[in-house]
Amino acid sequence: MAGKTWAAIALFWAAAMTASGVVLAHHGWGSYDAANPITISGLIVTSEYQNPHVVLNVEANGKRWIIVLAPVSRMLNRGALAELMAVGKTISAFGYVSTVEKNELRAERVTVDGKTIEMR
């Protein structure tokens, strides 16, 4: 029985360490060019209002951008309900372009329907 207990404990810790690695990897913002912020304005084409981050696809100047916003809880705390980030609305997003995915922007601030929301 003791062998099974130790095996269960080892499995638990292995899973916990793997999960924490995924979480740490997810929150790394080092792959965004913070030295060169830009602003993108365009039409919201798709809206994924879910965790770990709200993600929008925005059509701007003939290019499709992936806009990564804050987690749902932070969006709600700032009054940025799903209806505000709806398909068909125009958004202006200020943030940093990914150095890996050239069409991805990590937004620091967005404006929709005259309402400006800070992501941090």
State the Cα–Cα distance between residues 29 and 71, nearest whole angstrom: 14
pTM: 0.75
> pLDDT per residue over 63-108, tens digit each?
999 999 999 999 999 999 999 999 999 999 999 999 999 999 999 9
Quick one: which H or E segment has residue 45? strand 38-48
Domain boundaries defined on the chain: 1-30, 38-118
State the Cα–Cα distance between residues 116 and 113, nearest whole angstrom: 8
pLDDT score, position 10: 44
State the Cα–Cα distance between residues 113 and 67, nearest whole angstrom: 17
> pLDDT per residue over 35-70, tens digit each?
999 999 999 999 999 999 999 999 998 999 999 999
State the Cα–Cα distance between residues 102 and 65, nearest whole angstrom: 9
Structural fold of domain 38-118: OB fold (Dihydrolipoamide Acetyltransferase, E2P) (2.40.50)
